[in-house]
């Protein structure tokens, strides 16, 4: 029995974070959803281009619904997903959108963007713990 | 004032241009007589309001070209005025344009990015 419990403990530590994810156009009515593993869950999108060819996509997230969002990363328009592990920074309810953009001489011109999705992330501390046996 | 005039045209289009026919063509055509362009066909060239941007002419006023406008990409490059290539000008001192095969006709440059981005979570 002690060996089995130790295995469970190792498994719990190896999972960086347990997530409760909710995808919804209206985040105020976020349905209950099972927890997902941040190491496997991802943001995914379907992109339908407009008249103007975009130079890329911005993945933006924040901790407040409706923004402001922080740009997490830029990806080519051929990229259609991003691991959640590269999005989540701290524990909390995250809100994310994806926008497309063209690069102009004066800066980026962004499109209207996607719907907002939200998910709760519980991120474990990333510090190291050294265990030693004292005889 | 110019955007307000366009808006007025858009609003009046509801009644004047039903079925794309004119009740009083004499009053709402422009150009040379015999070679006149009517409001109902040319109103297809504008769209508004759109998301404003100070980066693109006309967008700063909240107007742009309709996504179906034949003016999109139908213009020509004007040396010293329009940029020599779409999107990324060499020195930034030229009118940017975005839609191949050429700049748009007129002062408004169409900038319509995504029609839709549907974002979801995957386990």
DSSP string, chain B: -HHHHHHHHHHHHHHHTGGG--S-HHHHEESSTTS-EEHHHHGGG-B------TTSTTGGGT-B--TT-TTTT-----TTTB-SSSS--SSS-SB---STTSPPSSS-------SEEEEEEE-
Pairing verdict, β A81-83 and A42-48: antiparallel
pLDDT at position B14 is 42
Under 8 Å between Cβ of A119 and A19? yes
Q: What is the pTM of this model?
A: 0.62
CA-based nearest residue to A84, from A28, A14, A18: A18
Cβ pair A97:B119 closer than 8 A: yes
Average pLDDT of span B30-40: 50
Longest C-alpha distance within chain B, in Å? 65
How many pairs of residues across A and B have Cβ atoms under 8 Å apart? 120
**Domain ranges, ordered by start, for chain B:** 2-45
Chain A partners within 8 Å of B99 (Cβ)? 51-53
**pLDDT tens for each residue of A48-74:** 988 888 889 999 999 999 989 999 999
**pLDDT tens for each residue of A99-118:** 999 887 667 888 888 999 99
Pairing verdict, β A107-110 and A92-104: antiparallel
pLDDT at position B110 is 78
pLDDT at A98 exceeding the cut of 90: yes
Residue B19 zone, left/alpha/beta (φ > 0; ψ -120 to 50; rest) = left
What structural domains and CATH numbers belong to chain A?
A: 16-123 (2.60.40)
Q: Is A4 helix (H, G, I), strand (E, B) or coil?
A: helix
Under 8 Å between Cβ of A106 and B55? yes
Chain B partners within 8 Å of A34 (Cβ)? 123
Residue A14 contacts by C-beta under 8 Å, 6 or more apart in sequence?
none
The residue in chain B having the minimum alpha-carbon distance to the alpha carbon of residue A43 is B121
């Amino acid at each position: 029995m002690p060996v089995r419990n130790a295995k469970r403990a190792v498994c719990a530590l190896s999972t960086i974070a347990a997530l409760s994810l909710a995808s919804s156009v209206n985040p105020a009515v976020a349905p209950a959803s099972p927890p997902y593993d941040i190491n496997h869950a991802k943001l995914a999108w379907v992109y339908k281009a407009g008249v103007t060819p975009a130079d890329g996509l911005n993945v933006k997230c924040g901790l407040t619904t409706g923004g402001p969002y922080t740009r997490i990363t830029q990806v080519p328009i051929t990229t259609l997903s991003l691991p959640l592990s590269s999005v989540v920074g701290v524990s909390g309810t995250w809100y994310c959108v994806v926008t497309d953009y063209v690069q102009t001489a004066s800066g980026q011109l962004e499109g209207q963007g996607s719907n907002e999705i939200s998910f709760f992330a519980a991120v474990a501390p990333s510090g190291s713990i050294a265990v030693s046996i004292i005889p | 004032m110019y955007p307000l005039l366009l808006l007025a045209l858009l609003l009046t289009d509801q009644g004047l241009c039903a079925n794309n026919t004119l009740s009083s063509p004499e009053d709402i055509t422009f150009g040379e007589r015999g070679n006149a362009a009517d409001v109902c066909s040319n109103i297809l060239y504008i769209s508004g309001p759109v998301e404003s941007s100070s980066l693109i002419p006309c967008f700063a006023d909240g107007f742009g070209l309709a996504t179906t406008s034949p003016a999109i990409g139908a213009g020509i490059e004007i040396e010293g005025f329009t940029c020599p290539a779409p999107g990324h000008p060499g020195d930034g001192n030229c009118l940017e344009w975005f839609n191949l095969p050429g700049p748009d006709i007129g002062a408004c440059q169409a900038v319509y990015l995504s029609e839709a981005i549907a974002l979801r979570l995957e386990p």
